[in-house]
Amino acid sequence: MSQVDFSVNPADMGDQLSHVLDKSQYCNKHDGEPLAFYCENDDTVICRECIVKVHSKHDFKELGDMVRVQRDLIQKKLKNLPTEKRFRFEKAEKAIVRTEERLTKNQTNVLRLVDSQELAMAEEIDENSKTIEREIKYYYQQVEKDVRQQTDAYLTTVKQHLETYESKAQSNYTKMKRFIHGKSKEIKAEVKALTSAQVKTLEAEKDKQEMNKIFIQSIRDFAQQLTDTGSDIEVMTHSKKLQTRFQELQTVELSRSEQS
């Protein structure tokens, strides 16, 4: 008798559905003996030989009496399956995608703002640098005019002092621009790292919702196929496990995005 492994990844469960509902009606331990009984202790279908050799002290009933009850029970559970959760999982996935898009857009806006502010500050520094340069040249021209008749040595000394001052000013401006650029890189790196971490969290949550959706649909498809085309033996073989899964589906949680 084929079995469905309910412990596997829900995404792989669908691959088992087309193989599990075989039509074997005979015991694989006792040749030619039909599987006509159900052992409640071991939750398995058995033949007469199984009763004599293994299950004689167990509670067992004829398969036909039990299977009608189990079919009805599975159908009832199937009707009560929280189908709305599947659609809510889909809605949660879409909400996560929208949040990711907003995060990416916000990151782009912040990075653009940082670049814009860095450019504006650099332009202001360049303008101040040019102003200092113009004022120094103008001052030198005035000094040169006032002391034209004095010695060249004095003019050379004044010019050297002014050039030294200009060099220091330009050096300070360069350091300021370098500092601003470094801080801008740090801010942009922090923004990218934060956004990346948030996107990874959302992707993991989105994957979880997809797995929940697949899990619900797989259980639904299998239960429907079992009740529609499964043999009595197959119904009894999988009934209890299905009911356990139905119960688990009632407690499957939605994502924080959907709950909020």
Region of poorest pLDDT, from 90-104, 136-150, 162-176, 231-245: 136-150
Confidence of residue 122 (pLDDT cuts 50, 70, 90): confident
Amino acid at 182: G
Domain residue limits, the chain? 99-213
List, in sequence order, every beta strand (DSSP E) within 5-145: 37-39, 44-46, 60-62
List all residues 6 or more positions away from 258 whose beta carbon is below 8 Å from its beta carbon.
88, 89, 91, 92, 95, 209
Phi-psi region of 87 (alpha: psi -120 to 50; beta: other; left: phi over 0): alpha
Whether the predicted pLDDT of 1 surpasses 60: no
Instruction: For residues 13 and 30, give the distance between their C-alpha atoms in angstroms, rounded to a whole number.
Output: 30
Instruction: For residues 194 and 107, give the distance between their C-alpha atoms in angstroms, rounded to a whole number.
Output: 9
Whether the predicted pLDDT of 51 surpasses 60: yes
pLDDT of the residue at 83: 64
**pLDDT single digits (tens) 217-237:** 888 888 888 888 888 888 888
The mean of the pLDDT values for the chain is 77
Structure tokens at 175: 């350091």
* Residue 226 CA, distance from chain mean position: 33
Shortest CA distance to 14 belongs to which of 258, 218, 164?
A: 218
Q: How many other C-beta atoms can be found within 10 angstroms of the C-beta atom of residue 115?
A: 12
